[in-house]
Amino acid sequence: MTSTLPKYHAAFLEQARGILSTDPRIQTLLAGGSLIHGGLDEFSDLDLVVVVEEASYTEVLASRMDIARRLGPLLSAFAGEHVGEPRLLICLYGPELLHIDLKFVTMSDLDRLVERPIVLWSRDTVAVEARLDRADISWPNLDPDWFEARAWIWLHYGAARALRGELFEAISMLAFFRDQVLGPMLHRRAGRPQRGVRRVEAYGLDETGQLAATVARHDFGSVKASLVAAIDLYLKLRADEPPRSEVKGMPQALFEFLGHEAENAARW
């Protein structure tokens, strides 16, 4: 496999396999992300899962920074608490820059997964593959009610910040809304796992430019137009799989709050 990867990715994997296999506390090295979904190129991260013996897990987790340093020239690293994943160590290696995610788990953690990883190395490949065969594997897609319960609150927040003149904050909310709502719903429309705005361009999910229209400049008119575009796109995507209950008064109340032209709001 490594012969088909970019050279720095391949070299890192070879080195990681060799080093981790000398640590008796470590059972297996798995990989997910682009390495299994396709599209891995020289700009891709490597998503690696280090499976640790149960009895040694606390010790290994405490020393994960030292382990990361052993794998290559580590420039910087931090734990993934900000994404609710303290087992994750997010690393940047250099001087040829390479982003590596190292997640430290035990064998029992393989019972529930969001994707089927590949085995890069294991002390017992048969046992690991059997465990993966039995695993509950499902991508954490969100249902229509989840989107509807949040969409109007987030859009109102962006509108309120824009009207106050906090344009950077409103622009930030638009980016958040694309990542949390519009991107996942575009992936849903295409029958793909809901992965935010990842690879929207590569999969041609915004050929009409409706998502691009939600990207604002630092100008009130542009922010307002982008908010209206976000509302319009959300409503179109919502129609694919309507929620059980729609928020009352929307989008009319939000259009009025923004001071959007009544004739445009009236069509909804």
> In the chain, where are the structural domains located?
2-137, 144-266
The DSSP output letter for 72 is S
CB atoms within 10 A of CB 58: 10
CATH class of the region 2-137:
alpha beta
Task: Determine the distance from the C-alpha atom of residue 10 to the mean position of all C-alpha atoms in its chain, rounded to a whole number.
Answer: 23
- Parallel/antiparallel/unpaired status of strands 118-122 and 136-137: unpaired
The answer to whether the beta carbons of residues 244 and 144 sit under 8 Å apart is yes
Query: CATH number of 144-266: 1.10.10.10, 1.20.1050.10, 1.20.120.330, 3.65.10.10?
Result: 1.20.120.330
Query: Can you give the pLDDT of all 268 residues of the chain as single tens digits?
Result: 655 889 999 999 999 999 999 999 999 999 998 888 777 899 999 999 999 999 999 999 999 999 999 999 999 999 988 878 889 999 999 999 999 999 999 999 999 999 999 999 999 999 999 999 999 999 999 999 999 999 999 999 999 999 999 999 999 999 999 999 999 999 999 999 999 999 999 999 999 999 999 999 999 999 999 999 999 999 999 999 999 999 999 999 999 999 965 445 444 4
Give the global pTM. Answer: 0.86
Q: Both tokens of residue 124?
A: 């017992």
Determine the Cα–Cα distance for residues 86 and 88; give it in Å rounded to an integer. Answer: 5
Question: What residues are paired with 85 via a beta bridge?
Answer: 80
Closest CA to 149 of 225, 84, 234, 213: 234
Q: Which residues neighbour 247 within 8 Å (Cβ) at sequence distance 6 or greater?
A: 148, 149, 151, 152
The answer to whether the beta carbons of residues 1 and 22 sit under 8 Å apart is no
The amino acid occupying position 191 is: G
Question: What residues are paired with 99 via a beta bridge?
Answer: 92
The amino acid occupying position 169 is: E
* Residue whose token pair is 């129609």: 239
